[in-house]
């Protein structure tokens, strides 16, 4: 007769391959890729002679990288983080919430973690949001344009550097 310990061990061995096979694999933004995203956004800001804070976050809205260009107002740091976090955790541009408020849906102001200001853009790979970029410092449209330049560079950066799997 088998001991209880042996039966449990055999059961664990039988279940382990099935559990392992069910674990998801997801793309993440590496620091190297975040630097390339930020560099593309910075290049666009400099091309336009703009000041800005550029923030790249992971899919949970946690900062991976923050650049504050020379002469950018200090208040833009928290705003840039908020825009990036909003785009990541809600999986849509932060402008969507600004538009909702403009259209009268003031309840969007109460959404936890939302910064309803234009300038946060999700970074999407294979149809999944893996992070976001937020830009603050100039007009709403300029912030978004700079963020879009960074987000557009993400696909190339990930393809060449290979965003890692977590």
Task: Encode pLDDT of 112-157 as tens digits.
Answer: 999 999 999 999 998 999 999 999 999 999 999 999 999 999 988 8
pTM for the full model?
Answer: 0.84
User: CB-based burial of residue 28 (10 Å sphere; 0-12 exposed, 13-18 middle, 19+ buried)?
Assistant: middle
In angstroms, the CA 32 to CA 20 distance is: 29
- Domains plus CATH for the chain? 25-161 (3.30.450.150)
Task: Encode pLDDT of 62-78 as tens digits.
Answer: 999 999 999 999 999 99
Cβ contacts of 20 within 8 Å, gap of 6 or more: none
Q: How many other CB atoms sit within 10 Å of the CB of residue 161?
A: 13
Output phi, psi for 109, to 5 deg: -65, -20
Q: Name the token pair of 89.
A: 């955790």
């Amino acid at each position: 007769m088998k001991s209880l310990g042996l039966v449990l061990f055999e059961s664990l061995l039988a279940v382990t391959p099935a559990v392992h096979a069910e674990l998801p694999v997801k793309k993440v933004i590496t620091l190297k890729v975040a630097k390339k995203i930020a560099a593309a956004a910075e290049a666009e800001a400099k091309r336009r002679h703009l000041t800005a804070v550029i923030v790249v976050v992971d899919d949970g809205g946690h900062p991976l990288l923050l650049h504050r260009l020379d002469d950018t107002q200090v208040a833009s740091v928290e705003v840039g983080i908020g825009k990036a976090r909003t785009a990541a955790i809600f999986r849509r541009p932060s402008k969507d919430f600004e538009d909702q408020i403009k259209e009268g849906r003031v309840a969007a102001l109460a959404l936890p973690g939302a910064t309803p200001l234009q300038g946060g853009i999700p970074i999407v790979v294979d149809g999944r949001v893996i992070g976001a970029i937020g830009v603050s410092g100039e007009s709403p449209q300029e912030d978004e344009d700079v963020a879009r330049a960074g987000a557009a560079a993400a696909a190339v950066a990930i393809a060449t550097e290979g965003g890692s799997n977590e």
